[in-house]
Structure 1
Amino acid sequence: MNGSKPRDVFRLPGFLAFWTAETVSEFGSYVTTLALQVLVVLTLHGSATQVGLLNASRWLPYLVLGLILGALVDRWRRKPILVATDLGRALLLGVIPGLWLLGWLSLPILMVFVALFGVLTLLNDAASQSFVPRLVSAPDLLAANARLDQGAATAQTSGPVVAGALVTALGAPLAVLVDAASYLISALVVWRIPVEEPVRAKSPVPLNLRREIGEGLAYVYRHPRLAPFAWGTHGWFLFNSMLTTVFTPFVLLELELTAFQLGIALAAAGGAGLLGSLAAARIGRAWGAGGAVIACRALMPLAWAVIALAPGAGSPWTLVALAVGQGLYGLAMGASNANEMGYRQAVTPDALQGRMNTTMRSLNRGMIVVGAPAGGWLADTLGYRPTLWIAIAGFVAVMLFLAASPFRHARHGDTA
C-alpha cells in the first residue's frame, strides 16, 4: 500500500450520517449489555452459568441462521435491512421493562427475547459491514473502519458508566429503554442516507442457497490469508466469550464491587479503545494488516492477566487493576478491529461481501454459544480466577497460531 495520506472519510457522501447512526446504537448497546448481565446476577439472582446461557442465546441465531441469511443479504439492498432491523430491535427491547413491571420476566423469557434480538442483529451486522464498501472506495476502507471504531470506542467509554448509573438509579430492566431509543435514532438517520445500491432481485440465476452458501464458505476457507485468519478468529471468540461471561459475576460477586464500579472498569476499555482506533490506520500501514492484528492479539493475554491478578474484595487497588486490564484490552481491540475489517472488505468482491461477513461472524458467534456457557460452568465449578487463566492460555495459543500462519504477510494493498 502506498504511503499517501488517506482522505477524510467524513467528507464522503453519506459516511458521516452512517457513522452517527452506528455510534448512537453502539452507545445504547453498551448500556444493554451491562444492564442485562446485572439483571441476571442481581435482579433474577442468577449464576455465572446463567449469565453464559443468556450470552449464548443472543448469538445462537448466528450459528443456526447465519449462513442462510448471509446468502440472502447479498441479494437484497442493504439500507432497508438496516432500517427495518433497527426498528425491530427497538420494539423488542421496549417490551422487556414492561414484562418486568408486570412480574412476568424470567430467565427463559429473557433468553427468548435476546435470541429474537440476535436474529435482527445478525441481519443488521451482515448488511452494515457490507454497506460500508458501498459508501467508500477500497483505498478508504481502513480509514473508514478506523473512524467507525473511534465512534464505538467513544460509546464504550461513556456507555458503561452511564449504564452503571442508570442501573443503580432505575434498575437494570428500565435502563434497557436507553438502547431502544438509540435504535430508533439510528433507523431515522440511516433512512435519510442517499446511496445507490445495485439490486440482484432480477438475477437470471435462480436462488440456490446450498450453492450460494458454498460460494461464501469456499471463498473464506480457501483464501490463502483469510482462511487462517478466520480459524484464528474463531478460536479467539471462544476464549473471549469465556472471559467476558466470567467478568461480570467475578466483579459483582467475588470482588464485591457495585454496578457503577463495574461500569467504570468497562469504560476504561472504551477510552483506551479510542486511542487504539486513532492509531489503527497508521499501525496498519506501517506493519501491514497481519502484523498489526497479531501484535494486538499478543497484548490481550497480558491485559486479562492483570484482571486475573486483581486483589480481592475490600482492596483500594481492585478497581484500579480492573481498569488497567480493561484499558490494555480496549487498546488492543481498538487498534486491531479496523485492520481486520478493512482487510476483509478490501479483498472480498461486492457480490460476496454479505456471505463473507456472515460466514465468519456465524462461526465466531457459534464459538460464543459454546464458550459463554462453558466459561460460566467452569467458573461455578473451578472458581472465577482459574477460569480466567484457562481462557488467557487460549488467547496465547490463538496468537501463536496466527503468527505462524500466512496471515502474518497480509497487507492492506492486497486485492484478493
Structure 2
Amino acid sequence: MRQERDSPSPQEPLRRPGFAQFWSGSTLTFFAASMTTVAVDALVINELGASEAEVGLIRAVQFLPYLLVGLIAGALVDRWRKKPVLVLSALGSGVVLAAIPSLWWAGSLSLAAVAVVLFLAGVFGVFTASAQQSALPALVARSELVPANARLGQSMTVAQTSGPPLGGALVSLLGAALSLGAGALGHLLSALLYARMKVPEPDFSEAAPSHAGRPSIWRDIRVGMGFLYRHRTLTPLAVSTHIWFVANSAAVTVFALFALRHLGVSPFLYGVTLALAGISGLLGALIAPQIGRRLGEGNAVILARLLYPISWALVALAPQDPVWGLVMLGLAQSLYGFCMGFEDPNEMGYCQSVTPRHLLGRMHATMRSANRTCAVIGALLGGLLAGVIGYHWTLWTIVSVFTAAALVIGLSPMRGARTSDAEDPQD
C-alpha cells in the first residue's frame, strides 16, 4: 500500500476511490461556502444596515476561531482519525448555519446573532480544514499532490463561478436570511459524502512518533510551530502569506462595501463579479500543474504574489459608473481569481511534499491560525479605514501591502523551489 502511494509514476488522482470520495465531499463544501458568502454580505450590508466598522467586525469574527482554536485543532487532528473529524465538522457547520433562517423566521435575527453563528461555523471550519489537508497526502502519491490539489482547486473555482450568482439569485428570490438555508444544506450533504469515504484505516490514523509517554498537546503545538518557522523555504512562504492575508482580508471587506454601497451594484451582479474570479480561477487551476512543472512551484507562487497588487489596483481605479465601474471590477476579479487558481495547488503541493506526515496537521494549523489572525486584523483595518479615509485610499493602502507580501517571498529561497528537489520527508 505504501509502495503504491510513493510510486514515482503518477496517475489521475480521481481514479483513486478514496480521493474521489474526498473530492466529492470537499466540492460540495466549496459550493456551500460560495453561496453563503453572497448571502452573508447582502444580509449584513443591505438588510441589517451594518456600518463600515461593523462589516469589518463581522468579517473578522469569521476568522477569529483560527486564532482561538486553530493550533489546538491541528495538534488534535494529528492524533485523531481524519474521517470522523470531517464528518462531524461538516455536520456541525450545517446545523449552526441553519440557525440564521430560523432566527429570521422567529423575528430574532440581529448582527450579534449573525456574528455568533458565523463564529461557531468558523470553529467547525477550523477542524474541517485541518483534517482535509492532513488526509490528502494519505490518499494520493507524493508525485500526485499538485494534480490532486489542482483537482480540488478546479472544483473550488467552479463553485466560485456558479455559487455566487446562484446565491445572489436566491437572495433576490428568498431574501438573504432564508437563502443561507441552502448553504447549510450543502454542508449537511457534504457530511454524508465524507461518511461514505472508503479509505484503509491506516491512512487516517498515522500518529506522531512516540516519546516517553504521551507528549502534551502544548509540546505538539511547539513542535509544529518550530518546524514551520525554522524551515529554509516554508518560513519565508509563511511570512509572505501572513502579510498577504492582512491585505486580502481588508480587500474583500472593502470590495463588498465598494460594490454594494459605493457603486450600488445589486446582489445578483455582485455575485456575478465574484463568479468571474471563479471562471478565471478554474483556468488557473487547470494549468497549475503545467505552470508548476515549467517554473517550479516556488516561482509559481511568486508570480501570483506579483500579480495580486495589479488586480486590486484595478478595483481602486474603478469609476463610479454603473457600466465601466462594473467592467473594472470584473477585470480585477478575473485576474485575482486566475492568480489564486494556479497559486494554491502549487503552494499546497509544495508544503505537503516537504512536511513529514505526522506534522501535517500541526504545520497547516500553525499556518492557518497565523493567517486567519492576520485576516482578523485585515478585516478590522479594512472596515475602519474605509470609514475614515474612504474607499479609494483604503484600496491603495491594500495594494501596497500586497506588494510587500510579494517582495518578502520574491527575495527568499522560495525562488526556484521545486517539490522534486525537496528531501523526501520521513513519516
Same fold at TM > 0.5: yes
CA distance in 2, matches of 1:371, 1:167: 27
Q: 1:135 aligns with which of 118, 139, 144?
A: 139
Give how far 1:202 is off: 11
Partner of 1:54: 58
Give how far 1:399 is off: 0.3
8 Å contact kept, 2:66–2:126 = yes
CA distance in 2, matches of 1:202, 1:353: 13
> For residue 395 of structure 2, what is the amino acid of its counterpart?
L
CA distance in 1, matches of 2:72, 2:186: 28
> For residue 224 of structure 1, what is the amino acid of its counterpart?
R
CA distance in 1, matches of 2:207, 2:291: 37
Partner of 2:353: 346
Partner of 1:334: 341
In structure 2, stretches of 5+ residues that fail to align are 1-7
Residue 257 (str. 1) matches residue 261 (str. 2) = no
Q: 1:363 aligns with which of 352, 367, 370?
A: 370
8 Å contact kept, 1:266–1:326 = yes
8 Å contact kept, 2:285–2:345 = yes
8 Å contact kept, 1:254–1:313 = no
CA distance in 2, matches of 1:45, 1:289: 43
Give how far 1:48 is off: 2.0
Q: 1:271-282 counterparts in 2 under 5 A?
A: 271-282=279-290
CA distance in 2, matches of 1:46, 1:402: 36
Partner SS state of residue 418, structure 2: coil
CA distance in 2, matches of 1:370, 1:9: 37
Q: 1:51-90 counterparts in 2 under 5 A?
A: 51-90=55-94
CA distance in 2, matches of 1:18, 1:179: 19
Q: 1:405 aligns with which of 403, 409, 412?
A: 412
Partner SS state of residue 352, structure 1: helix
Q: 1:295 aligns with which of 303, 309, 312?
A: 303
Give how far 1:5 is off: 7.8
Partner of 2:328: 321
> For residue 352 of structure 1, what is the amino acid of its counterpart?
L
* CA displacement, residues 117-154 of structure 1 (integer Å, 9 cap, x when unaligned): 11100011000111101111111101000010000000
CA distance in 2, matches of 1:236, 1:166: 32
CA distance in 2, matches of 1:396, 1:296: 11
Q: 1:218 aligns with which of 209, 226, 229?
A: 226
Q: 1:99-138 counterparts in 2 under 5 A?
A: 99-138=103-142
Residue 19 (str. 1) matches residue 23 (str. 2) = yes
In structure 1, stretches of 5+ residues that fail to align are none
Partner of 2:236: 228
| Percent identical residues | 46
CA distance in 2, matches of 1:277, 1:88: 29
Partner of 1:185: 189
CA distance in 1, matches of 2:98, 2:208: 33
8 Å contact kept, 1:256–1:313 = no
Moved more, 235-244 or 400-409: 400-409
> For residue 254 of structure 1, what is the amino acid of its counterpart?
H
Partner of 1:378: 385
Residue 40 (str. 1) matches residue 25 (str. 2) = no
> For residue 81 of structure 1, what is the amino acid of its counterpart?
V
8 Å contact kept, 2:9–2:143 = no
8 Å contact kept, 1:300–1:332 = yes
Residue 238 (str. 1) matches residue 242 (str. 2) = no
TM-score for the superposition, normalised by structure 2: 0.94
